Amino acid sequence: MEEIEVHELKKVELNKPVMIEGLPGVGNVGKLVAEHMIQELNAEKIVEIYSRHFPPQVLVNGDGTVRLCKIVIYAWKSKELDLLIINGDQQSVTNEGHYLISERLLDFAQQHDVSRIYTLGGYGIGQLVEKQTVLGSVNEAGLVDEMKGYGVEFRDDEPGGSIVGASGLLLGLGKMRGIPAVCLLGLTSGYLVDPKSAQAVLKILCRALNLEIDMQDLKDRAEEMEKVIERLKEMEQAQVPRRREEELGYIR
Amino acid sequence: MEEIEVHELKKVELNKPVMIEGLPGVGNVGKLVAEHMIQELNAEKIVEIYSRHFPPQVLVNGDGTVRLCKIVIYAWKSKELDLLIINGDQQSVTNEGHYLISERLLDFAQQHDVSRIYTLGGYGIGQLVEKQTVLGSVNEAGLVDEMKGYGVEFRDDEPGGSIVGASGLLLGLGKMRGIPAVCLLGLTSGYLVDPKSAQAVLKILCRALNLEIDMQDLKDRAEEMEKVIERLKEMEQAQVPRRREEELGYIR
Amino acid sequence: MEEIEVHELKKVELNKPVMIEGLPGVGNVGKLVAEHMIQELNAEKIVEIYSRHFPPQVLVNGDGTVRLCKIVIYAWKSKELDLLIINGDQQSVTNEGHYLISERLLDFAQQHDVSRIYTLGGYGIGQLVEKQTVLGSVNEAGLVDEMKGYGVEFRDDEPGGSIVGASGLLLGLGKMRGIPAVCLLGLTSGYLVDPKSAQAVLKILCRALNLEIDMQDLKDRAEEMEKVIERLKEMEQAQVPRRREEELGYIR
Amino acid sequence: MEEIEVHELKKVELNKPVMIEGLPGVGNVGKLVAEHMIQELNAEKIVEIYSRHFPPQVLVNGDGTVRLCKIVIYAWKSKELDLLIINGDQQSVTNEGHYLISERLLDFAQQHDVSRIYTLGGYGIGQLVEKQTVLGSVNEAGLVDEMKGYGVEFRDDEPGGSIVGASGLLLGLGKMRGIPAVCLLGLTSGYLVDPKSAQAVLKILCRALNLEIDMQDLKDRAEEMEKVIERLKEMEQAQVPRRREEELGYIR
């Protein structure tokens, strides 16, 4: 296996597709959105990417088989819009790998003449979110107004903040190649997998892509999480602070 | 010394051998099994592997001599079955090294036309094991039923789990090369070296290989450990919680 | 992107310029001085340096756009003195990167026939500084007396101390290339961004360069910090030790 | 600067010299011995080794000048015995660097047809040492008896132990090249620089080399440390446990 190995499973012809990145991260918000889109759109798996920069382990599937950590790219075509959706098990665990893998994804974007990239993620605020909000960042100043039109918030009291991993680097490195890119971060507690935040991000994204996607599955998952959160709140009021800490661990 | 250096001590001709990996890991279960097999079968040392990805140290033998950390491959031939058994002092300490060393072991497997790989290890559950159990994972769905026939358990309530190090990567990377591979993990506390769990794994493996191996030595070691555990339990009941913590450290 | 990528934005002809390095570090003293000089002198951006050895993230600007972490070199020309001022978002996060990036900066220094390098930083003493002091280190013994003349202190009771990062390596590696270099470290608490210490360093540097620079902006920022410190002291006297700890975090 | 850069300051002709390694480590025992020998024998500096695998910093000398971290090799010639003594500021801070630097030292050893290597260090036991003892390890079984004759102890109840860094790797990697090598470790608390343990190691080494070296300087330093230890003991009895912890830090 090479340092980064790209397995092209199927050749597809796409028309200036939009690339959407939803790799694991805070609240798994980006990954939830990407997975939901792949499922609802029935997108087709076209590329697998393996790398020594992923953790040195295999993941065990429900049927007892295992798989190497990988990033997967799916394609979806329609009359008005073509998509490349990036999903995966892991991000790089090395500093260098983050840069190298993002560059490889951009190579692929350029091969397919990608017209724009959306990177998706969560923005942890350390407490339960009262009002669902999606924060935006862009790699071309001209994109700010368009994004505001879709309901994305831009907060200028947060300069100095940073976006870590592929969601950030695809914007930064993409700019060098002249590919317009937007990062959408759903506010989230940072403690729990957050399908509600994923819904908020997906709504904005659908508006931006002029696309309709059924959200029932994300709603169901959000309701399940609501129940978990209710139980946590009850436990808090019942003054069982120690158990609460355990329960608040990162739940998939 | 190269990044990974393979010293072939002896050329052997093997007939579609089965490869067995037992490098250090949780409860040292895999290593105990590999060492026991090498000793009981009187297997022959044929390869030593050195690497900069091992810890930068030497190990001191009982006679005052030292040795570099290494992985050693042993060969064993019989009328019905040929084996390659992998044992060693350490696994890689770098992320990249884990991948590179597993690839090198697979290169070697392919040179000898290995028919199947078994990787062995422990699965730490954080408490003393009540009923000896061996969990299985495979890199070809077709192997599940065969393994169940030997008494291996497959639990589908644990998707999302992972197998770290060579025991996992030999399955994942082996699949890319079309080599069937099975990982057998003995349940173990994770706190102590566990010859009892090693016995359970070895029993399954012998069934799978249709091989008979005397287990007295592992039984003796298991009895010694039982005594240690008895003492720990007594100490626990005598309410000496602090000392217990120290004693429960990883004992070789 | 290469491992280290140098983007030359503009060619300039300089006359044996002095190079000044002010990358982020303790108390951000060096960065404050470099930024102040660039602003007051209206220096011109001529080079951007990107690298995989910077953190794998982008920084978010106030207008919602993002940028990759980078080091920037500015040029300033006058009749008596030419300057190259190095500023940046980050230092390397890998061991090797520190060496490689410093070497690249020295390559650039040699291309422009740099006559001397000043590296700027803070020296954390773990408590509020009573008397502003600037400590010096040099890579040629002959520079000590000259620096003393400008008010730099040399303390021989601190052999064995070390200067970490570019501020140190530019001296050490610069010596190998025969470039005279001086490191100026302003005493600082190490807990807070310290514009007062930056003023002290800048005063010395101006004397050494025979340059006049208005310091009002640094004075204003120092006054703001004084107020923060006053509040911290009050809180300390009001015996709120826990909150104090939080407030004493590294404030930009 | 290359990854590892060897600056040969002077060519020397040596007659099957003995190489002695005393790089920093536990109790700085090895470094103290090497420094003492260089000083007493007035050995000549012949090689400096720089590397990106050393910490990214410079060290500040007493006169305000700085130096890069480096390893230095000294040569000493006499009628009966020639020596190469290795001293330095640091060991590698990367895993790979430890192997690469030790290999480079062995390249140098082979160029000079080194007849034997002694590596020196401390063995931390976590408490003050009652009886000065020097433990030995070798890379050829035949060396054990010779070393016992000089008063070196070999303890066979400590298999499984390891020797980290150059002191270990020069034995392990040296064996691959057929260079006989011995590691001498002085028992030491591990908390303090230990000139007394250094004396014990030097005594053995002088016996092995049939060499006489004045030890007054090490004795003086040992007496100073004795006073420090006395004060620590008094403080312990005076029940000031917290301050003791601070004072017990690694004192140069």
Query: What pLDDT is stored for residue C158 in this prediction?
Result: 55
Name the residue among B179, B126, B175, B123 with its Cα closest to residue B154: B123
Least Cα separation, residue D129 to chain B (angstroms): 22
Q: What is the DSSP annotation of C108-128?
A: HHHHTT-SEEEEEEEEE-SS-
What's the pTM value of the predicted model, to 2 decimals?
A: 0.91
Residue B234 has pLDDT above 90, yes or no: no
Residue D66 has pLDDT above 60, yes or no: yes
Whether A99 and C56 lie within 8 Å, measured CB to CB = yes
Q: Could you give the CA distance from residue C64 to residue A201 in angstroms, rounded to a whole number? A: 17
Query: What pLDDT is stored for residue D250 in this prediction?
Result: 39
Provide the percentage of residues in chain B whose pLDDT is more than 90.
Answer: 83
Size of interface A-C (CB pairs under 8 A): 83
Option in C56, C60, C65 nearest A141 (CB):
C65
**A7: closest chain B residue by CA:** B176
Q: Could you give the CA distance from residue D5 to residue C32 in angstroms, rounded to a whole number? A: 35
Whether C140 and D65 lie within 8 Å, measured CB to CB = yes
- A78-82, C107-111, C172-176, C233-237: the lowest-pLDDT one: C233-237
Whether B165 and A252 lie within 8 Å, measured CB to CB = no
Name the interface residues of A facing B (CB cutoff 8 Å). Answer: 1, 52-53, 55-68, 93-94, 252
Least Cα separation, residue C184 to chain D (angstroms): 11
Least Cα separation, residue D170 to chain B (angstroms): 9
Whether D141 and B58 lie within 8 Å, measured CB to CB = no
Mean pLDDT value across residues D120-130? 92
Whether B183 and A66 lie within 8 Å, measured CB to CB = yes
With beta carbons less than 8 A apart as the criterion, state whether B150 and B207 touch. Answer: yes
Mean pLDDT value across residues B66-86? 97
Tell me which of C60, C61, C252 to substitute to probe the interface with A (most A C-beta atoms closer than 10 Å). Answer: C60
Collect all residues with Cβ–Cβ distance below 8 Å to C58 and sequence separation of at least 6: A137, A162, A163, A168, A169, A171, A172, C66, C67, C68, C69
Phi and psi at residue B121, in whole multiples of 5°?
-170, -170
Q: Looking at beta carbons, which residues of chain D come within 8 Å of B64? A: 136-138, 141, 144, 154, 156
Pairing mode of beta strands C116-124, C18-21: parallel
Return averaged pLDDT per consecutive 10 residues of chain A, 252 residues in all. 95 97 96 98 98 97 95 97 97 97 98 98 92 96 97 76 95 98 96 95 98 96 91 77 42 38
Whether B1 and D159 lie within 8 Å, measured CB to CB = no
D239 confidence band (pLDDT: 50, 70, 90):
low
What is the tens place of the pLDDT at every residue in A118-142?
999 999 998 889 999 999 999 999 9
Whether C163 and D57 lie within 8 Å, measured CB to CB = yes
Least Cα separation, residue C65 to chain D (angstroms): 33
What is the tens place of the pLDDT at every residue in A51-86?
999 999 999 999 999 999 999 999 999 999 999 999
Query: What pLDDT is stored for residue C156 in this prediction?
Result: 74
**C172: closest chain D residue by CA:** D68
Mean pLDDT value across residues C233-251? 56
Query: What pLDDT is stored for residue A159 in this prediction?
Result: 41
Q: Looking at beta carbons, which residues of chain D come within 8 Å of B53? A: 95-96
Whether B159 and A62 lie within 8 Å, measured CB to CB = yes
D244 confidence band (pLDDT: 50, 70, 90):
very low
Residue B244 has pLDDT above 70, yes or no: no
Query: What pLDDT is stored for residue D232 in this prediction?
Result: 84
**C152: closest chain D residue by CA:** D64
Name the interface residues of C facing A (CB cutoff 8 Å). Answer: 1, 52-53, 55-68, 93-94, 252
What is the tens place of the pLDDT at every residue in B142-183?
999 999 999 999 987 654 589 999 999 999 999 999 999 999
Whether A139 and C68 lie within 8 Å, measured CB to CB = no
Tell me if ipTM is over 0.85: yes
Dig out the tokens for C3 from the structure: 């491992």
Identify any residues that bridge with A48 across adjacent strands, giving them in sequence order: A7, A72
**C135: closest chain D residue by CA:** D64
Whether C64 and A144 lie within 8 Å, measured CB to CB = yes
Tell me which of C35, C54, C58 to substitute to probe the interface with A (most A C-beta atoms closer than 10 Å). Answer: C58
Burial B187-198 (b: 16+ CB within 10 A, else e): bbbbbbbbbbbb
